[in-house]
Chain A
């Protein structure tokens, strides 16, 4: 900064024309559609992501019909689906693969990441750091408006000749290189989604580092903010390689290059025209370089939400706050050097496989630390079983199952049998479905009063929680046994193979559970919409929590706080001895 610029700096606080419109004078479009307010953008992200979540779930329900009753026509909607998916009401093999690929892609890139980072992150992080908005409000808006077209391109691929991408969410070439047009749409959509994440992550990091309220040092940040901080770094550094890979695959498909095509491919007894010289494994490296950190992108915000909910409802400080933070940082760092454990079966030698096994075992340690810290936080507590607390509590054992079942997959020898079986499906779904999605529900119930100024209904919430908890285990627990028996994933006909035929009963049970799980989301939807309009009005701090978002009115106005709060203490000062109340908010000064 030059001396001149420094001299100018203080005079230059005129915000005119810098995009921060005065709320009162803004048009409807600027307020609700092309808004630069982080709260509006957060809500936009949340609603969009919830729609995608429901859509991705719906795709799975259709696939589940085929898996329960192979080759039976799909009831009700079988006739409505396009030619690319069904034939005379029966899902085709191509259609099954397409639904599978789109289920994975939609859930990971268009539902959970936008919900966890775009939704919760956008809404809560600036509030929690005591900022009036994100550091770059217009960039924030751009991030949403890049995300949406990406999602729409993905959806549009359902109407393309040949249907949407059908090469799995991993899109391994050469299969994806020789696939139909839907794959091109998938690639273009992904490039949009990645760009959106990059814009968002820059914004998050700058906001968290630069915009903290006075007194809010890094180690006074709530764990949720730390989790978002690490997540943003993962998005920032892990996503570009997939963008590069996407560009290369796009070149392969559009310009006829051979980045991923080796020489002499014979497809359907015909020599393929690609000149060759490429490496199919290159894609896997670039893809998993992203996709393993992506796992932590899915899980870290969830851990953050759960920590907030647990701290507020156990009425005591989180156990081991600093070790939680260090564990999250360490997780983030390590997640970049474990990716090839997804590739053990490609013919990896002993040296490198040992390296990746070691890093994989090492990365399990911080996860154990986080889980232990959260569980010990219950000791000596005064647990208030609110609906968000129930979801957060259920998250812990579910995440534990998901984490533990990663062990046999991370060791090469046991991976030989379990690789690409239903065991893998069970494993990662336990992490993201009863894990992350339960945490998302906890977050929705927890911050709903802040966002709308109204509480959600407890009875409906309890119904939603208990039945979801039962059925979601009914969906994923049998998968471990199916995988043990050797049933492979991505099988259109579940009975085609000897070892899978014997566990078909379990597969049918999974399907029933999945449909029931869908049914018990109805109370949630009713609760969500009814509470927006007619829920019981909420106070500014209904959970009597300590973090900064509760210093703002519910719902917070444009600019968030009446005046920027000053922070006086750490994030989880609950049940401090000698205090009048059992919580000491960060934004209130204590006497003496």
Chain B
């Protein structure tokens, strides 16, 4: 009986795929996420195209939909900035500058929290105005898509909080693997930001 299990390509890239397991896994996960959001976008398009031209069920456009574009623009910038901080956390880890990396990760978490707070204000403003998911299918789409995206952001916050908190201990005994973990988390985070970049124009601006 072997005393411990060695999984190949746990840290070093596989010669054929050029990826270590974690990165490959994250990309596969992102592929499934593409299909998830694809289905939601598909629903959005179908409902929008199928909506009547006039009447209470007509689809509101950006002039009439009561969404707050300036706030969402700020949020977009916040997310883009948080992607930059993530990539630099990874970069600093490769240079063995752990303190700088941690600062970047903390900044990422901070920016993500800012995003969530702004989101909270947006939502509560909608509720205050009597706009609920049940008001109209547009708000149903708006709340569902941005809500699901918000859950992804929340997931990212938890992952980063773990990596900067208890998970950071790994840096001491297995820095290569820790760096990989940051890269995987960063890939996920970039994807979440990318979804927002597509969500923003298609919900707020069209």
Contacts and interface: CB of A to CB of B under 8 A. Distances in A.
Establish whether A and B are touching in the complex (CB under 8 Å). Answer: yes
Interface of A: 1-2, 4-6, 8-18, 20, 22-24, 131-133, 135-137, 139, 198, 201-203, 205-206, 209-211, 236-241, 243-245, 247-248, 251, 255-259, 263, 274-279, 282, 285-286, 289, 557-559, 561-562
A233 B134 CA distance: 36
Q: Which of A5, A14, A132 has the most CB of B within 10 A?
A: A5
Interface residues of B, number: 63
A5 B22 CA distance: 15
A14 B8 CA distance: 13
A210 B21 contact: yes
Q: Which of A8, A15, A247, A562 has the most CB of B within 10 A?
A: A8
A356 to B, nearest CB: 17
B133 A256 contact: yes
Given A23-B1, A259-B47, A278-B137, A12 B29 contact: no
Given A136-B25, A210-B8, A247-B148, A279 B50 contact: yes
Contacts of A236: 28, 31-32
Given A24-B1, A557-B2, 4 more contacts: A133-B5, A211-B21, A247-B148, A277-B57
Nearest to A217: B16
A11 B24 CA distance: 22
B135 interface: yes
Given A12-B174, A210-B9, A210-B14, A257 B137 contact: yes
Nearest to A252: B140
B116 to A, nearest CB: 20
Contacts of B21: 135-136, 206, 210-211
B39 A289 contact: yes
A243 B37 CA distance: 10
A244 B33 CA distance: 10
A171 to B, nearest CB: 16
Interface of B: 1-14, 16-17, 19-22, 24-25, 28-29, 31-33, 35-40, 42-43, 46-47, 50-51, 56-57, 94-96, 132-137, 140, 143-144, 148, 169-170, 173-177, 179-180
A132 B2 contact: yes
Q: Which 9 A-B pairs have the closest CB atoms?
A: A256-B134, A8-B176, A257-B140, A244-B39, A241-B39, A240-B36, A2-B94, A559-B2, A240-B35
Nearest to B17: A209
8 contacts: A6-B12, A18-B10, A206-B25, A245-B39, A258-B140, A275-B137, A279-B47, A558-B5
Contacts of A12: 11, 174-177
A240 B39 contact: yes
Contact of B136 (A11, A137, A244, A275): A275
A277 B51 contact: yes
Contacts of A137: 5, 7
Contacts of A198: 29, 32
A20 B5 contact: yes
Contacts of B35: 237-238, 240-241
A277 B179 CA distance: 48
Contacts of B179: 2, 5, 8
A286 B39 contact: yes
Contacts of B133: 251, 255-257
A241 B38 contact: yes
Contacts of A211: 7-9, 21
Contact of B137 (A5, A22, A247, A259): A259
A243 B11 CA distance: 32
Nearest to B179: A5
Contacts of B8: 131, 210-211
A256 B33 CA distance: 25
A205 B28 contact: yes
Contact of A255 (B95, B132, B136): B132
A198 B17 CA distance: 21
B119 to A, nearest CB: 17
Nearest to A235: B32
A131 B25 CA distance: 17
A13 B1 CA distance: 19
Contacts of A255: 132-134, 140, 143
A4 B90 CA distance: 12
Q: Which of B11, B51, B170, B180 has the most CB of A within 10 A?
A: B11
Q: Which of B7, B11, B42, B51 has the most CB of A within 10 A?
A: B7
Contact of A248 (B11, B136, B144, B170): B144
Contacts of B140: 251, 255, 257-259
